[in-house]
Amino acid sequence: MTGTTKPRAEDANGMDVIYVAGPYSAATPQGVAQNVAAAVAFGQKVRALGALPVVPHLTILPTDDYEAAMRECFEMIRRSDAVILMPTWKQSPGAGRELDFARALGLTVFDHLVDLASVYDAQKTQGVGRALAS
């Protein structure tokens, strides 16, 4: 096909794409399940604000190759408008690497959900489209 451009994810619905960074790995399978559940719950809060959350805990296929998984996470960050840190992000070396990568790209990083919420509250007050300008 020529002359066509594939739209970015946020263009489809006018939504900002927000990458959720937080712990995945744990000492036990139950711990991993708890981390995934926490990330999903956090992503649902991001969605409730009007953004499209990217929760890597659900999209990275299981692998024993940690670096390959991190490369996939970095690619998702590259395609995002911003990153939000879960309250437990400091428990995760991978989330720390994601934070460094996002900052190197110049992306907005939200430390707290309330910070992201304030951006969306301002957007609603001003009556503008997407909260984060690309």
Q: What is the pTM of this model?
A: 0.83
Is 133 within a domain?
Answer: no
- Pairing mode, if any, of strands 52-54 and 17-21? parallel
Is 5 within a domain?
Answer: no
Identify the domain containing residue 94 by its residue range: 14-126
Average pLDDT across the chain, whole number: 86
Q: The domain that contains 88 carries what CATH number? A: 3.40.50.10400
Q: How confident is the model at residue 60 (pLDDT cuts 50, 70, 90)?
A: confident
User: Which of 2-11, 23-32, 79-88 has the lowest average pLDDT?
Assistant: 2-11
Is 41 within a domain?
Answer: yes
Q: Count Cβ atoms below 10 Å from residue 46 Cβ, excluding itself.
A: 24
The pLDDT score that the predictor gives to residue 123 is 65
Is 18 within a domain?
Answer: yes
Q: How far apart are CA 44 and CA 16, in angstroms?
A: 14
**Cα–Cα distance list, 4 to 1, 7, 11 (Å):** 7, 9, 15
Is 1 within a domain?
Answer: no
